[in-house]
A and B are shown apart, each in its own frame.
Chain A
Amino acid sequence: MAETQIERQIDRSHMTVSDEVAIQITAMNKWFGTFHVLRDINLTVNRGERIVIAGPSGSGKSTLIRCINRLEEHQSGQIIVDGTELTSDLKNIDKVRSEVGMVFQHFNLFPHLTIMENLTLAPIWVRKVPKKEADEVAMYYLEKVKIPEQALKYPGQLSGGQQQRVAIARSLCMKPRIMLFDEPTSALDPEMIKEVLDTMIELAEEGMTMICVTHEMGFAQAVANRVIFMDQGQIVEQNEPYEFFNNPQSERTKLFLSQILGH
């Protein structure tokens, strides 16, 4: 299955994991109605970590990372992001959301706004950055994701890979301290997958704290410092990538890896 070769040399000089805790999830449970979708999740993410979450479809990966910025509400346990606990307090939620960037499988760009407007909207309206400054920041990130020439187009005029890079840039314009990715490459053709992965690798090289749900095991091996395997709403196994791929412990993990890597 998905196995895009990561050919580039990874610069690991800034990829340092600090002792500071970025996300702390303790004994978290979530139900959709009567369906127990996340069961007793305990997870600590330190600043600078690059975590890949893998698992079969329906195992709750998306739901887990969506809980981290409260797109989904958990029913028990605790989620603390950057020292702020997620409760029903709207102030806390908005604070966490403006600190945590999220990239979706289907990009979710705003089709009625130009690329530039997509990028500057949240900085201007949430962070109250002056428009000129927001424009400069937006241009900086567009150059970073290598599509500055598309600034005045509308999302519908861009290819999927370009749109996803815009979506990443849009999140980065809010200067987030944590980035969440929910299968950012699953809706893309192979060449486009590579451009998006490149962008994500660059982000990792700069020391961004990242949690990625992805089936790109090449990316996991090259960039992640930890791989988490989920099944049936639970964290079944986690390990550093080399061990995870070469020496999986649980039967479920072995089965999953054999399916996904086609061994």
Chain B
Amino acid sequence: MSEHHSAAYVRSAMLPEQAPPVSEIGVIRWLRENLFSGPLNTFLTLAGSFILYFLVKEYYPWLRHSVWHAGSVGECRDIVTATWGEGATGACWAIIRDRWNMFMFGFYPREHYWRPTLALGLLIFAAAPVLFAESRSIRMVVLGIVAAFLLVAFPGLGVGAAANLMLAAALAAMLVVAWSRPWGLLWLTGIYPGLAVWMLWGGSVWGPVLAMSGFVLGWAAWLATRRFGTILSVGAAVLVPVAWWLFGVEQVLPLFDAVLPYSIDAVRSEKFGGFVLALTIGVAGIVLSLPIGVVLALARRSDMLLVKALAVGFIEFIRGVPLISLLFVASLLLNYFLPPGTNFDIILRVIIMVTLFAAAYIAEVVRGGLAALPRGQFEAADSLGLDYWKAQRLIVLPQALKISIPGIVSTFIGMFKDTTLVVFVGLLDPLKGITDSVRASFEWKGAYWEPYIFVGCIFFIFNFSMSRYSMYLERRLKRDHR
């Protein structure tokens, strides 16, 4: 060794690239890093494999022995025994085939099955301008699937060829509109609430039309009173439609019905059941609870003491009581308070309660998003001269809602699942109401797992879609590049 190391160094030959050792590539590396990275991980991997093995060993035969065609539970058992020997068990999916319509539509009149089906399909079309405005390809794929689904389903629902052709033409036209412009279907979004109510409950077309016209009246009232200040114009925009709905529609409706009668068969709320019921309540609750929740969140952060106190009181009260108690209030107590003889639809009452319930949770989620915004954002908006509402709409809410997406979607998913609780106020929810009534029949007595698994799977499909959509939305809105 020399006495002093020289700091100077010059490489004489460059090293060629070499293949990595086996432990650094491919499957082996993946296994080592993800499944066997340490004693704990190795133990968990082995334990997990064991549980998986146990589950498959126990339940796979049951699934493999599935029976799809049978007329009763007994017949199912006979088939399993005949095919797989004495003592074998098998899933009896025939119950789903047999009572499919019951699960989907409850006691909704058979000849009108196409109406809720169309309402569901159009829901996706109406939502496209809001949910899929950004990406044409995603929009077209989703709407294409929905259109194909409707066209396949409709002949099976007893819709005639002529009507089917019309439907196909209408769907094609809407697809073209959706393809050419992101917001081309916004008109459908606008009329959809009235349209859906009319399709589902039927009756005179003028009921939903006049109800929807309340929004136009509110907007007109706002425009007319705008120059007298925000409080007055907002008040007018709320009071005019409410007065119209409570007193006006009733007076005018007979007039329209007399002059231009047009109606389809009415379907009473008691006939609703299964997923038609769950989706009606769930979708209405989702659509209504978001704006109410946002307003509540803003109110809770308001400088105005009364507004803030009301918001806090409402949110804490709703969050403090179980949803079931609210549903009981909706079904029983409201009847005592309302003047006798008023027919306040049970589904509407349930929707109101579910909406208020979800809105309270959304409000808290959104408040979290609002709190996460740096104060500088508010100050920058103020210093540019934006007034409160413009600042909220353009600067604050877009950012706060983006932060809140996971929480909002969680609330929606929870709420959609909670729609099954309506069974306690005598409505036929898919999970218990329908399942019980299917099992009450002689043929299907004793079928326990299959209906629950089936209903669970359908719920999973809807909720998983919502969850995936929220992840897509989060990715799409990720613009801060932090």
> Which A residues are closer than 8 A to B by beta carbons?
69-71, 90, 94-95, 97-98, 100-102, 104, 106-112, 121-122, 125-126, 154-157, 170-171, 174
Contact = CB atoms under 8 A, between A and B. Distances in A.
A13 B385 CA distance: 32
A110 B479 CA distance: 10
Contact of B380 (A104, A112, A154, A156): A104
Contacts of A154: 479-481
28 contacts: A69-B382, A71-B379, A71-B382, A71-B383, A94-B385, A94-B387, A98-B384, A104-B376, A104-B380, A106-B374, A107-B376, A108-B374, A111-B399, A111-B479, A112-B398, A112-B399, A112-B402, A121-B386, A121-B394, A122-B384, A125-B390, A125-B394, A126-B386, A126-B390, A155-B480, A156-B481, A170-B384, A174-B385
Interface string B363-381: 0000000000010110110
Interface in B117-172: none
A138 to B, nearest CB: 13
Contacts of B385: 94-95, 97-98, 122, 126, 174
Contacts of B383: 69, 71, 97, 100-102, 171
A125 B394 CA distance: 9
B395 interface: yes
B476 to A, nearest CB: 12
Contacts of B386: 121-122, 125-126
A112 B480 contact: yes
B141 to A, nearest CB: 26
A141 B380 CA distance: 18
A145 to B, nearest CB: 17
Contact of B384 (A107, A121, A155, A156): A121
Q: A-B pairs with the 4 shortest C-beta distances?
A: A156-B481, A98-B385, A108-B380, A108-B376
A95 B380 CA distance: 15
B384 A97 contact: yes
A156 B480 CA distance: 5
Nearest to A97: B385
Contact-residue bracket for chain B: 20 to 34
A111 B377 CA distance: 9
Contacts of A107: 376
Contacts of B479: 111-112, 154, 156
B375 to A, nearest CB: 9
A121 B395 CA distance: 10
Contacts of A94: 385, 387
Nearest to A96: B385
Interface in B386-438: 386-387, 390, 394-395, 398-399, 402
Contacts of B394: 121, 125
Nearest to A70: B382
B477 interface: yes
A157 to B, nearest CB: 5
Nearest to A95: B385
B64 interface: no
A112 B376 contact: no
A120 to B, nearest CB: 11
B379 A110 contact: no
A156 B482 CA distance: 6
Residue with the greatest number of chain A CB neighbours at <10 A, chosen from B384, B481, B482: B384
A230 B399 CA distance: 37
A121 B479 CA distance: 17
A70 B466 CA distance: 43
A179 to B, nearest CB: 11
A106 to B, nearest CB: 6
A110 B480 contact: no
B152 to A, nearest CB: 40
Contacts of A71: 379, 382-383
A109 B380 contact: yes
Contacts of B387: 90, 94
Contacts of A95: 385
A88 B380 CA distance: 19
B480 A111 contact: yes
Contact of A106 (B376, B395, B482): B376
A108 B374 CA distance: 9
Contacts of A174: 384-385
B477 A112 contact: yes
A106 B398 CA distance: 20
A70 B477 CA distance: 33
Given A110-B399, A111-B479, A154-B479, 4 more contacts: A98-B385, A108-B377, A156-B481, A171-B384
Contacts of A106: 374, 376
Residue with the greatest number of chain B CB neighbours at <10 A, chosen from A95, A100, A125, A174: A125
Contacts of A155: 480
B481 A97 contact: no
Given A121-B384, A122-B386, A126-B386, A110 B481 contact: no
Contacts of A109: 380
A110 B380 contact: yes
A104 B481 contact: no
Contacts of B402: 112
Contacts of B480: 111-112, 154-156
A70 B379 CA distance: 10
Contacts of A102: 380, 383
Contacts of B482: 156
Residue with the greatest number of chain B CB neighbours at <10 A, chosen from A90, A101, A102, A122: A122
Contacts of B384: 97-98, 121-122, 126, 170-171, 174
Given A97-B385, A121-B384, A126-B385, A108 B477 contact: no
A140 to B, nearest CB: 18
Contacts of B374: 106, 108
A153 B377 CA distance: 19
Nearest to A101: B383
A219 B403 CA distance: 40
A112 B374 CA distance: 13
Contacts of B481: 154, 156-157
A141 to B, nearest CB: 14
